[in-house]
Chains A and B, each alone.
Chain A
Amino acid sequence: MMRYLSAAAAGVLFALGLAVSGMTKPAKVVGFLDLFGAWDASLAFVMAGAIGVHFVAQRLIKRRAAPLFDGRFHLPTRRDIDARLVVGAVLFGVGWGLGGFCPGPGLVSAGSGSSGALVFVLGMTVGMLAEHWGVRLTSSRGRVS
């Protein structure tokens, strides 16, 4: 039970941070990405605040033998830079610039009932399923040939 409650609590806290920082306003996000227009630098401060806290906290947390509600840590170990990473990030960046939503603010705003965010989350879910399907398709083809 504590596993689920703590995950939900982290989700609530994350959503509060996104809303307080202005990330749930697409206009503000696009204002930040509008480097050559009336640039609003606020979102750089969001990143600075988040990384400032997490940089220190994650170092302290990783000194533990294990997290509270799991047997061990499951942190990414890959170090290679491949085309999937860069192409994926670029596609994400284009979508972020077009809609002003990244996944977290999209979900929080969908919870708030915003029709734009609901459409965004629907599109995002379809895009995710398409990627999963594409990976299954190419990997099963790889096995056949």
Chain B
Amino acid sequence: MHDFTPWSALAGGALIGLAASLFLLTHGKVAGISGLYGGIFRREASDRGMRAAFVVGLLAAGVALRVAAPGLFSTSWSASLPLTAVAGLLVGFGTQLGNGCTSGHGVCGLSRLSVRSLVATGSFMVAGFATVYVARHLLGGGR
């Protein structure tokens, strides 16, 4: 095990929990990022402005952190650009089909003790473990 950072992980996780709570308190909705972002593009979208404001918050924080703490984004490994595009397609399609991602199902759904979210979280975790196993250890694609 290398790069194990339990304290910053716990602190960052608590901030994520606070952010989801702030969103619930102010808007009464689950802070599911794939749902909030994907909803902007739905024809029947409600609250498009509020959804966009949330996403602008995410992007603006990314801009600010790039200046203030660029080390948070540095990486020793990243997938090739074509593979990253395929990964994006799968993540986009899958989160809309399954109504959620790590935030909506993982954080908010599990906090609400939702059985649907438990099934979804179990499914994407197992699929993630299996994918990395195949890519890294069977195909040896990961460095």
Chain A contact residues, CB within 8 Å of chain B? 2-28, 30-31, 33-55, 57-58, 61-62, 64, 66-70, 72-76, 78-81, 84-104, 106-116, 119-132, 136
Contact = CB atoms under 8 A, between A and B. Distances in A.
A85 B98 contact: yes
A126 B108 contact: no
Contacts of A123: 84-89, 91-92
A16 B11 CA distance: 10
Q: Is the interface of A mostly helix, strand, loop or mixed?
A: helix
Given A46-B10, A52-B17, A92 B94 contact: yes
Chain B: number of interface residues, binned into ranges: 35 or more
Contacts of A39: 1
A109 B33 CA distance: 14
Given A18-B16, A86-B98, A116-B81, A81 B115 contact: yes
Contact of A99 (B1, B79, B115, B126): B79
Given A79-B116, A127-B92, A116 B79 contact: yes
Contact of A96 (B59, B60, B87, B136): B87
Given A7-B54, A27-B77, A34-B136, A55 B111 contact: yes
Interface in B36-71: 37-38, 41-43, 49-51, 53-63, 65-66, 69-70
A119 B131 contact: no
B27 to A, nearest CB: 5
Given A75-B112, A111-B59, A123-B86, 17 more contacts: A13-B19, A20-B72, A22-B5, A22-B8, A30-B77, A34-B136, A35-B133, A50-B13, A58-B21, A58-B108, A70-B29, A81-B115, A88-B120, A94-B131, A95-B92, A98-B87, A121-B88
